[in-house]
Structure 1
Amino acid sequence: MENNNKIKWGIIGLGNIANQFADDLLLLEEAEIVAVASRNKDKAAEFAKKYNCHKGYDSYEALFADASVDIVYIATPHDSHAELSIKAMQSGKHVLCEKPMSLSYPDAIRMIETSIKHNTFFMEAFWTRFLPSVKEVLEKVNKGIIGELRYVKADFAFYADEKQGGRLFNKNQGGGALFDIGVYPLFLSYIMLGIPKEIIAKSIYNANGIDLQTAMVLQYESAQAILHASIVSESDMKATLSGTEGTIVLNAPWFVADGYSLFKDNHETVFSLSNLGKGYTYEAMECHKCIRNNRIESQLWSHQNSLDLSRIVEEIKNQIGLSFS
């Protein structure tokens, strides 16, 4: 692919996240949405018209077969991420797949193996990893600005009305707090502290076996992470990183932070870093960079990073007795 050519995107699963992502793609001159797909033909046509895209398919397979598509953004419900990602890569397409990349660790392995076999770029869409605030905070922590990191506190919580139903409460689609939003605080703990030595997790379920809220304690050699996810209550959604010489607090909501505060030597320093669009722009730019450089994975959120996180989530899933079968 020539460096002066636009990266041509296909989008499948045309819900709220896909709309936000498409809005951000329009901010990038190097990106072009050339095809979208939904099982609902009218929805595909409406989405295509909204984003000035000439192709709106009523099947995902048709989009995978479209030679004009370079990379597919997969924003379908969780239960279909693995199979659709694999089909797209088998069709020679690069893939950016919404988190969680799969509902099981074995499926995550299959996805990475497919990327390697077909020499296609694959990345789990952990957009938070590429935000300026998160990148800068991680750099400060790694440089020892707050000393040795000893404590991470992060949560992701909001109230959803179960009576209204929807994907969040649909067991067949991988609903529940852990897989929908719990992966965010787990991601933060992972990039800051790595793989824990021990995990303790407890959940509260609804009658259908969906975890409504899940609390997690991750034990490290000399640090702990206290994490929480809920779809039945709210929180301040700040993230705290405390070390032996200082503390960093990411602005709320921390997973899309537009800045952070550093508390050190009895002094607070405020850092403001506004995001381009909602912030999905940065993960898209990372995809472009990798594709142009013929890489099948990102160095900032690699295949191994996704597998590590998937393994952590799998352990919690097993520990709390969560099953999607």
Structure 2
Amino acid sequence: MEKRKIKWGIIGLGNIASQFASDLLVLQDAELTAVASRDFSKGQQFAEKFNAFKVYDSYDLIFADLEVEIIYIATPHNSHAELSIKALENGKHVLCEKPMALSYQDAVRIVEASKKHNRFFMEAFWTRFIPSIQDVLQKVNKGVIGDVNYINADFAFYGSETENKRLFDKKLGGGALFDIGVYPLFLSYILLGNPKEILAKAVMHKNEVDLQTSIILQYESAQAVLHASIVSDSDMKASISGTEGRIHLNSPWYIADGYSLFENGAKEAVFSLSYLGKGYAHEAIECHDCIRNNQIESELWSHQNSLDLSKIVEEIKTQIKLSFLF
């Protein structure tokens, strides 16, 4: 029996939205019903490229469209919280790009709105739904590498102040921590949970955003050493070490197409797991399943998961003296 199509709307029509929209085309049970941009011509071009039926030059208009079931929010970070809440208030389900908010307080407000209006909300941590990550998590939970006692992960690239102005703009929630630092933090969190102690140091830009941030998460009997940078490059591999072996996720680890497993006393075992489209399709499938099951949150990346991660980021933000208040 063919599943009914879930009708999507997209706001914030940049690069990530383009990749997400291309993945909706891969899914037979997805329809891009409408897109919205304050630049109407940009919206028209986007709609034409990705087969959207309607174009709006106002976010309020797409929120009011009764056909649209779920809104994908891919605007700059500083607008995520208010737009998510407004969409939920208008009866829409929401998939919001990470980070869902620039403060823990705003993250709580979003979750409260989801519960109040009985609408699905998920932070768009696409990495959580990538087959390699799913498989690694299952192996770790089964004890294949014993007790995890060390995680090493980073996310780094050369950002250009002329080409990537958003990254260096405090008003837009720029900086390494919120843009990419959340990825290695996410990996440590899904494997080890909430840390007992957090240590963070950053190199700051004259614009008062962090150019690079290094973090140690201290657990009862484990540590995670993590790094994020928008001014240097890395091989972007991730390693998970345990008492009986270790796992190396292929580069770039956050969208790994496989991993290597080293069990103590055994040779390397290599696993290859492809993903649909550009990798965003998997989180969209999760949204579809949750909406059809009348869930307001995902069991794989729940409201509490997002709140926990937001609280970790909030502590790091405080330690490195990063503030988005004006």
TM-score (norm 2): 0.98
Residue 228, structure 1, aligned to residue 220, structure 2 = no
Q: CA deviation at 1:324?
A: 1.2
Q: Which moved more, 1:259-268 or 1:23-32?
A: 259-268
Q: Which moved more, 1:11-20 or 1:162-171?
A: 162-171
**Structural RMSD (CA):** 1.0
Partner deviation per Cα, 1:205-248 (whole Å, 9 max, x = no partner): 11111100000000000000000000000011000000000000
Gaps of 5+ in 1: none
Q: Matched residue of 1:162: which SS?
A: coil
Inter-partner Cα distance in structure 2 for 1:41 and 1:276: 30
Gaps of 5+ in 2: none
Q: What residue number does 1:168 align with?
A: 167
Q: What residue number does 1:137 align with?
A: 136
Inter-partner Cα distance in structure 2 for 1:74 and 1:299: 21
The 5 Å alignment of 1:255-270 reads 255-264=254-263, 265-270=265-270
Q: What residue number does 2:281 align with?
A: 281
Q: CA deviation at 1:3?
A: 7.6
Consecutive aligned runs of 4 or more in structure 1 exceeding 4 Å deviation = none
The 5 Å alignment of 1:1-325 reads 4-164=3-163, 166-264=165-263, 265-325=265-325
Q: Which amino acid aligns with 2:303?
A: H
Inter-partner Cα distance in structure 1 for 2:76 and 2:211: 18
Inter-partner Cα distance in structure 1 for 2:51 and 2:142: 45
Q: Matched residue of 2:88: which SS?
A: helix
Q: CA deviation at 1:163?
A: 4.3
Inter-partner Cα distance in structure 1 for 2:31 and 2:161: 37
Percent identity of paired positions between Structure 1 and Structure 2: 69
Q: Which amino acid aligns with 2:320?
A: I
Q: Which amino acid aligns with 2:310?
A: S
Q: Which moved more, 1:106-115 or 1:45-54?
A: 45-54
Q: Matched residue of 2:268: which SS?
A: strand
- Determine if contact 1:3/1:292 at 8 Å carries over to the other structure: no
Q: CA deviation at 1:5?
A: 1.4
- Determine if contact 1:21/1:280 at 8 Å carries over to the other structure: yes
Q: Which amino acid aligns with 2:124?
A: A
Q: Which amino acid aligns with 1:103?
A: L
Inter-partner Cα distance in structure 2 for 1:210 and 1:185: 19
Inter-partner Cα distance in structure 2 for 1:78 and 1:14: 14
